[in-house]
Amino acid sequence: MDRAKLRGLILGVILALVCFALPLDGLTVQGRKALALTVMTVVFWAFQVSHSGYVAGLYLVLLIILKVAKPTVVLAPLATSSTFLIMGAYLLAASVRSSALGERIAYFMLRFVSSYRSLIIVIYLLTFVLSLIIPHAWPRALLIMSVMLVVIDTAQIGVQDARQIGFAVFASSVPISLIFLTGASITNPLAVQYAQVDLGWIGWLKVMGIPSMVASVLTCILFLLLFKQHEKLSINKQAIQEKYEQLGPLSGKEKRILIWLVIAILSWATDSLHKIDIGWITFLITVLMSFPVIGEVLEARHWKEIPLHMILFITAATAIGKVGAETGMNAYIAHLVLPTHVPTNIFALAAVVTTFTMIVHLLLGSVLSVMGVAIPALLAFVSELSINPLVIVLWAYTVIGSHYILPFHHMNVLVGVGEGNGLYSQKETIRLGIPLIAVVYFITVVIQTLWWKTLGLIA
């Protein structure tokens, strides 16, 4: 038996019992139940007591059995378009992976690489381009990494430089995923849900596009400053050209995928005109991609690409906020851990939100669980201010979605750790993550605040 898991199990249960037993002033019995189950669940996730999906399932069922909230509240996220966006995103990514479209784009862009620096820059540009057609960060990064392994092999790149190139692939996916609403099809729409506002694809690009692009450029510059090349790099362009030619002309299947991808992007970009949520649009497109004549891309086996555990995880993370609001838990946490005085200066408020969110993120790690705990508490904290909730949510989400120190702080980074994946280790993530703190503060406190004042989002 894993001792760490056992310790996490015991700690989670003890903390849950303590939270429920203590006479917490200002918190009802239902609120104490919600707090106890939330603390236990977060501890279980942090210690990986069981698979995240099973822990999420336990939390959801206990909320209902113990009558903390009604099933319609607990399971409300399942009935939203975000659930169907997640399913559609995974199916869309599966369709691209079933073809050679991604490789074609990657090998084409590698023609412009002549040095280590240009290779790193192309990795960031390639991640940006693919974020338009593959609405999930992990498949994008793994696809790019498969091409980089060819570059590493043909150019006979040394171990140290190979690790840095691999890390660049997964590190680039972190800030770039925040540029488009569909760049991180799980967490970006979830952030909008927390704000309870209507924000379409273009709306997200307008609000988050510029700050996220600045964050991506700064991260790339920081990466190049910290990770210098160790050996002379000589790209074997002949080998890359041969790989590109081996793909042959576009197949009929690839042409159909390309047409559907164009339709998807146009549908996302015009959602403010047709008024159809991108979740329904994305799922509809992937369903049609399975039909004869017009599709014949997706098959029955591709349903396996949709992770049920992730849907349960997201439902649980969202339920933390919804149940917390209904039982008074969110307001209690905000009163307990946040300053009693809410700053009226917008820059000071941005700094408080950034600091609080970063501390919670460093302690808990999981992006989704931190969103479930930090964002509802912050919304309760600023409830007396006449400020757009989207501002608070996106400040907090930018911190959660763009920063890490250890690999477990961000799944985009975690999936690439190891020789069989992105080749890098925890050492590289710490080296970039610590100075990245300054970049995060600069983006939230300065860039986002000034940009949103320009847009009129902040009065």
Percent residues over pLDDT 90 in the chain: 58
The whole model's pTM is what? 0.85
Place 282 in a pLDDT band, splitting at 50, 70 and 90: very high
pLDDT of the residue at 216: 98
User: Would you state the structure tokens that stand for residue 459, as one six-digit string?
Assistant: 């009065």
Per the CB < 8 A criterion, the answer to whether 173 and 412 are in contact is yes
Query: Using one digit for the tens of pLDDT, what is the confidence trace for 206-235?
Result: 999 999 999 999 999 999 999 999 888 887
Most confident of 38-42, 206-210, 251-255: 206-210
| pLDDT of 381 higher than 70 | yes
Place 1 in a pLDDT band, splitting at 50, 70 and 90: low
- Give the contacts of 95 (CB within 8 A, at least 6 positions apart): 257, 260, 286, 289, 297, 298, 302
CA nearest neighbour of 377 among 336, 333, 342 = 333
Query: Using one digit for the tens of pLDDT, what is the confidence trace for 128-182?
Result: 999 998 888 888 898 899 889 888 888 889 999 999 999 999 999 999 999 999 9
How do the domains of the chain map onto residue ranges?
A: 81-305
Per the CB < 8 A criterion, the answer to whether 294 and 259 are in contact is no
Calpha distance 358→370 (Å, rounded): 9
Cα-only R_g, the chain: 22
Calpha distance 29→64 (Å, rounded): 15
